[in-house]
Every structure is written in structure tokens, then in C-alpha cells.
Amino acid sequence: MRVGVIGVQGDVSEHVDAVARAMKECGVPGEAFAVRRREELDRVDGLTIPGGESTTISKLLVKLDLFDEIVRRAREEAMPILGTCAGCILLAKDGGVQAKKTGSRLLGLMDMAVDRNAFGRQKESFEADLEVTGLDRPFHGVFIRAPAILRTWGECKPLARHEDKIVLAREGNRIGAAFHPELSNDFRIHRWFLELL
């Protein structure tokens, strides 16, 4: 199994490590590596898109000729994708006013609307235990200038909330997390993603 981590900006190495750890825990042979070029994207069975700055990641994906190929593989080949924080924003169909303002292109692969920096700048970072549908004990979520999922529709289903906001959703084999599961030293969400592969 080969899992690519979009490696153009953001916390790439943390995701590579988390995927490798999850593979080990599941006893699945495979490799995790950063993807910056088309040849690398062509080799992966699934993709994670890390946290960072969604506008920057979006622009670089277009520039490096990865953007349209990710959309094509997801739509035509049902490639599994895990997007966290900025990656979650990129997976959404609707990025709200802020995404429109910056004119950044979204991959638009999940039926959900997100709001960037939804938890406010004064509290740029916080941690919270989340009740996640399908997990038997809470998941400790690390939120860094996190977006919120405002609503989901169609086949996209909310899996966890913090206060009144959705912070984890799944649509088929795509998962969007507003927080950073790669930073919790708990690999259950990455393992879940591997199961989708």
C-alpha cells in the first residue's frame, strides 16, 4: 500500500510519520511519502492533505500540475483522501466568503461547507476531547487556526462536533478533519483511513 502526503506546504513530515505508524499498528506493509510531483502522485493508492495554509496549498497544487489529477483520481478511481485542517478546507465544495475573497480553488470533493479560522484568532490554538462516531473512546483533537464544517449534505456525514460545530466528516472514502489527527500520538483516524484503502 502506498500513501502519499501532499508535500507542498504544511505539516508534511508529521503526516508521513503518522501514516507509517498507523501502517505498523495495523500490520499493513506499505510506504508513506511526500508528493510534490506528478510521477509521485501516479504511484499512490491514497492521499492525505495536511494542515498548512489552504490558499498556498491550492495555488501550489495548480502550479505543480497536481490539482486536476487529484480531482480526476478521486472522482474516476475513487482514490481515498484524508484532509486535515487546510486539507479539510480543500476537500470542501463550499469554502465560504473567505475562500471566495482569496479566490483559491477548492478540490470540491466533499459535500460540505466550511468556514476558515472559524474558532477565532484570539484562540488560535486549543485542544479538546472529541466524541467520534465509530470510535470507542474520545479522540484528543489539536486545533490550530482551525476551520469548522458548517454543514454537510448528500452522502457527506458529520462524525464529530466541538461545541456547536462539526469538526469531522466522511463521505465514502474521503475524510475531512478540522483538527490535526497527526499531532495527537493517536493513530486511530489514520488507521481508519488505511481501512478505506
Which residues are catalytic, by number? 85, 180, 182
CA distances for 6 relative to 52, 72, 97, angstroms: 11, 16, 25
Which sign, positive or negative, has the C-alpha torsion 122, 127, 130, 135?
A: positive
- Minimum distance between the CB of residue 182 and ligand GLN, rounded to whole angstroms? 11
Minimum distance, C-beta of residue 52 to ligand GLN, in the bound complex (Å): 5
Grid coordinates given for 1: 500500500
Where would I find the H helices in the chain? 12-26, 38-43, 54-63, 67-77, 86-91, 96-102, 188-196
User: Shortest gap between Cβ of 136 and ligand GLN (angstroms)?
Assistant: 27
Q: Which 53-82 residues touch ligand GLN, going by CB under 6 A?
A: 53-54
For 144, the grid coordinates are 490550530
x/- track of binding to ligand GLN for residues 80-119 (CB under 6 A)? -----xx--x--------------------------xx--
Tell me which residues touch ligand GLN (CB under 6 A).
51-54, 85-86, 89, 116-117, 144-145
